[in-house]
Amino acid sequence: MTDRPIKLTIAALGGQGGGVLADWLIEIAEAEDYIAQSTSVPGVAQRTGATIYYLEFFPRAAAERAGRAPILALMPVPGDVDCVIASELAEAGRAIQRGLDSRSHDADLVDAPQFCRGRKECDGAGGRRL
């Protein structure tokens, strides 16, 4: 197989909707004929970080052409994630510290309204590209 899966990481603290978002993305991917997998590793407290949800999506048609199912990972590999979504700026920093972002092929999305407090203007609607 020459196609590679789409790899996405969501970092969210409890109650911030990371699990709901992961479930929605899996449902959307499967409806669009992708093979989808999701795993999560819960954080234990605010000081040690968020729950990490890791999702991979692979086109079913590509798997059928290859004649076998893709092998999908259970955890993100540093430098090999296409998109990192973080619920707040601190979690985005932790994801970068873990090396999850890759400047060659990724997008980092952060919902960080606290970053904009005290400023007269904030780029975007609460989110910033890292």
- Going by C-beta distance under 8 Å and a sequence separation of 6 or more, which residues neighbour residue 102? 79, 80, 81, 82
Mean pLDDT of 55-62: 96
Please give the model's pTM, rounded to 2 decimal places: 0.77
Residue whose token pair is 């989808």:
36
Rounded mean pLDDT, 71-99: 85
Output the six-digit token pair for 110.
């952060």
Give the Cβ contact number of residue 53 at 10 Å.
Answer: 24
With a cut of 90, say whether residue 67 has pLDDT above it: yes
Sketch the domain layout of the chain as residue ranges. Answer: 6-129
